[in-house]
Amino acid sequence: MSKPLSIAVAGLGTVGAGVLKLLSENAEIVAARAGRPVVVGAVSARDRLRDRGVPLSALRWYDDPVALAADPGTDVVVELIGGSDGPARALVEAALAAGKPVVTANKALLAVHGAAIAELAEARNVPLAFEAAVAGGIPAIKALREGLAANRIRRVAGILNGTCNYILTVMREHKREFAEVLAEAQKLGYAEADPSFDIDGIDAAHKLAILAALAFGRPVDFAAVHVEGIREVSALDIALAGELGYRIKLLGIAERTAAGIATRVHPCMVPVAAPIARVDGVFNAVVAEGDFVGRVVLEGRGAGAGPTASAVVADLIDLARGRVTPVWGAAAGLLDGAPALPMERHVGAYYLRLMVLDRPGVIADVTGILRDHVISLEAMLQRGRAPGEAVPVVLTTHDCEEASMRAALARLAALDSVLEKPALIRIEPL
C-alpha cells in the first residue's frame, strides 16, 4: 500500500470531530477505498482543553489555523472553521498558494468568494474539493459535476436547509405558528441561538449558488440569488395550501432559460404528489433535470457530524486516488457567461391570501386590480361569512410575470378593505 495521505484539520467542532472519529472507526475501509491510509497529523482549534471524544495528544497542534498551510508533514488541508472571511478564507488561500489540496465544507466561503478561489486553485493546479458544502451527506456535488456531466442541466432545485424544513413540517403536522416552533427548534438544537442565516434563506442561497455554478458550468454568483425566508409563513397559509393540494417548502431553484440563468430561494407551494413535498423534518433533497437523464432526485440528511464527515472523507478518498475535477466542472476559460436574470423576470403561478372586510364590492375591487395587471385567476376560495369583519380570501393565478404581481400586490395592500399585509407564495409544479 502507498504512503499514507496525511491531513491537517482546521476546526474541531461537530464536523471536525466527526471527521476524526470516522477516520478512526472506518480506517480499514477508508484505506482500502483510498488505496492508502488517510491519517490526521495536525489540527487547529480555539480550545485545546475541550473534550471532543477523540484522542488529540499525538497530533501537532496549531493555535493559528493559517499555519497549517505551511506544516511540512501535511499533504491535504481540511478547512472546517466556517464563515466567508477571516481565518477560513485565509487558510484556504494560503494552502492553495502553497500548492496543497484543500477540502472544505464551507458553503459561505465558496458562495461569496468561490470564483476567485477557483481561479487560484486552477492557477496553482491544486485540487479544491467541497462535497460537504451542500446538503451534508447527499452526494449532490458529485452527482451534478460528475455523474450528470454528459447532460445539459435545465433546472436544479432542492430543500437545502434542514432547520426551515423542520419548522415547516412541525407547523403543518401540529397546526402551530412559526415563532412557537422556532423556539422549540432552538431548544432541541435544530436552530441556532441566532437563526437568521437559516430562517431568512441565506444558508440555502449559499448552497444554491454553488449548485447553480455546477449545474450550468458558470462562475459562482451569490449576488444574483433572490432570497426570501420563512418568517412570514403562517399556520393559516399552510392549512389552506393543504386544502388546495399543496405543501409549503422553502426551496432553492436554479434554472436556465433562453434569456439567462435564474436563481431564487423562497417559500413555494408544491403539489403533495411531488417527491420533494414528502421530504420532511431535518432532511434535505436535491432534484436535477438533465436533457438525457431526465429527473434525478437525491434525499438524505443535510447536516450533522456523521453525514457531513462522510462527505469530507469521500473527498479525501478521491484525492488519495488522484481523482481531480475542475472546481466548477470545466476550466475557467470554458465556463458559461450566460447573464443572471432578475427576479422581476420570473414567470409562474401564485397563491395570494387577503384578509378583507366582508362587505359588498370587495371581490370586485380585488379582481379589477388583477385584471389591470393582466393577471388571470385559476381559482378563488372564500370561507364563511362575517359581515363587517375580516375574512380570508384565497386566490390562485395562472402564470404571470413577477413584476406584474408585485405591482398588483402594492395596489391590493393599499385598499382600505384589506386589513393586513397580503400573503404571497409562488406555486412550483415540481
Which residues participate in catalysis according to the annotation? Answer: 207
Give me 231's grid cell: 418568517
User: What is the distance between the alpha carbons of residues 170 and 261, in angstroms, rounded to a whole number?
Assistant: 33
Residue given cell 452526494 in the structure block: 139
Whole-angstrom CA distances from 288 to 80, 154, 215, 276 are 27, 8, 8, 12
The DSSP symbol for 87 reads H
- Provide the pairing of β-strand 377-382 with 400-401: unpaired
Q: How far apart are the first and last CA of the chain?
A: 48
- Spatial neighbors of 237 by CB under 8 A, at least 6 apart, are 248, 351, 353, 423, 425
- Contact, 41 vs 81, CB < 8 A? no
- Provide the pairing of β-strand 153-159 with 260-271: unpaired
CA–centroid distance for 344 within its chain: 22
Mutual orientation of helices 107-124 and 202-216 as an angle, nearest 10°? Answer: 30
Residue type, 168: L
User: What is the distance between the alpha carbons of residues 161 and 218, in angstroms, rounded to a whole number?
Assistant: 23
Residue given cell 475501509 in the structure block: 29
Q: 315 forms bridges with which residues in the sheet?
A: none
Residue given cell 460537504 in the structure block: 132
Give me 134's grid cell: 451542500
- Contact, 382 vs 394, CB < 8 A? yes
- Contact, 211 vs 156, CB < 8 A? yes
DSSP percent split of the chain into helix, strand, coil, nearest 5: 40, 25, 35
Give me 196's grid cell: 437568521
Classified as helix, coil or strand, 86 is: helix
Return the CA Rg of the chain.
Answer: 24
Tell me the CB-side half-sphere exposure of residue 214, using CA atoms within 13 A: 30
